[in-house]
Amino acid sequence: MNETTHKAAVVAVVGATGAVGVELLRCLEQRKFPLAELRLFASARSAGKSLTFRGERLALRELREDSFEGVTLALFSAGAATSRRFAPLAVQAGATVIDNSSAFRMDPAVPLVVPEINPESLRGHRGIIANPNCCAIISITPLWPVHRRNRIVRLQLATYQAASGAGAAAMEELRESTRAYLEGRAHAPRVLPHPYAFNLFSHNTRIDPLTGYNDEETKVIHETRKIFGDSAIRVSATCVRVPVLRAHSVAVNFECERPIAPQEVRDLLRAAPGVELVDDAERNYFPMPMDASGRDAILVGRIRSDLSDPSGRSISLFVAGDQLLKGAALNAVQIAEVLRAQE
C-alpha cells in the first residue's frame, strides 16, 4: 500500500467481508484507486482474519468508535444501523463517508449520487454521501439521457431482483435450496421468508398498510425523484425477488412530455456513459442477468414504443445490471473518484 500521490487516501472499508464489501475491495484494486493505507473493518467475530488486496494480506479489525482516526475516506456497507451509529463518528474524525445503506438517502442535507447523473450534487456535502438503492441506480441510469432531452413525466418499474441484493447468505441459500430441490430433499428457508429455488415472491421488505407498497418499492420511488431533481415525476414500482444468483433486471415503462421514437432512445443510449446497448431483435437477444453479472455497464434493450399510448410519448425497455457492482460497490468507488477529481 505504498501509492503516496498527493491525492492518495487513507481508506476504511466498513463491512469488508460482506458481498458488497468484497466487491468494494475488487473495485478499488481494479480501478487503481490511489491509497496511502487501506483499513478493513468487520464484526468482532471476523476480527483477526484477513483478506487479500493487491497481493497483500490485510487483517480485519473490529469496528469501534475510535476506528476512524486518520481516515480520510470511509466506505460503509454494513447496514443502516451500523451506518447511523458510526458514520457521524467517522465524519467527526475527519473522514468523508460514502454510505451504501438506506440510513441517510432521504436526508435533505445528504447528497444521493449516481455519478453519471448528478455528480454536481457532491459539491458542498457535509461529510456523508449516500449511495442509492441498487434498483434505483440500475433502472434510472439509462433513463437520464432521455430525461435530459425529453422530460420523463411518468415511470413504471417491475423488478426481477437477484439473491445478491440480500447479501452473501441469500446467495448461498439459493445454491443450497436449488441443490435440495433437484435432489428431492426438503429445504427450510432461513434467510428469506419463502422457498427460493424455482420460485419468486414479492420483495421481502415491510409493506406499508396505507399505500400497499413495500419498503423497496418506496425507496425506488423517492430516490428516483431526488436523484433526478424532479419531485413531480410520477413513479410506481413492483419489486420481486427471483431465483437468480446475481444481477438485477427491470422492466421499465416511461412516458415523456413529447412524442419519442425507439430509435431516438437507442441513439441516446448508445452514447450514454455506464450503459451498453443490447438490443438485437433479429436474434431475440436482449439484456440478461447472466450477461450483466460481473460487468460494470448496465445492459439495456427491448426498446419499443408502448402500443397502449396512442400519443407516442411512451417507451418500454428492459435493463439488467450487476447489483453488487454498479448497483452498489462500483457506484460508491465512482463517487470517490469524482470527489478526488473535485479536490
- Residue 8's pLDDT is 87
Per-residue pLDDT reduced to its tens digit, 179-196: 999 999 999 999 999 999
The ranges assigned to domains in the chain are: 9-131+328-342, 137-323
Quote the DSSP letter at residue 285: B
Beta-strand pair 152-161/298-305 = unpaired
- Residue 45's pLDDT is 83
CA distances from 51 to 21, 164, 210, 260 (A): 11, 20, 45, 50
Q: What is the mean pLDDT of residues 48-52?
A: 92
Query: What does R_g of the chain's alpha carbons equal in angstroms?
Result: 20
Catalytic residue from among 125, 147, 203, 248? 248
What is the DSSP secondary-structure string of 101-153? SSSSTT-TTS-B--TTT-GGGGTT--SEEEPPPHHHHHHHGGGHHHHHHS-EE
Task: Please give the model's pTM, rounded to 2 decimal places.
Answer: 0.94
Per-residue pLDDT reduced to its tens digit, 77-132: 999 999 999 999 999 999 999 999 999 999 999 999 999 999 999 998 999 999 99
Query: Considering the domain 9-131+328-342, what is its CATH architecture?
Result: 3-Layer(aba) Sandwich (3.40)
Catalytic residue from among 27, 134, 239, 256? 134
With residue 335 as reference, give the H or E element that holds it: helix 330-342
**CA angle centred on 121, ends 127 and 225, rounded to 5°:** 115
- Dist CA 179 CA 186 (whole Å): 10
Beta-strand pair 73-76/50-53 = unpaired
Specify whether 248 is catalytic.
yes
- Residue 66's pLDDT is 95
- Superfamily in which the 137-323 domain is placed by CATH: Dihydrodipicolinate Reductase; domain 2 (3.30.360.10)
Judge whether residue 304 has pLDDT over 60. yes
Specify whether 134 is catalytic.
yes
Confidence class of residue 14 from pLDDT cuts 50, 70 and 90? very high
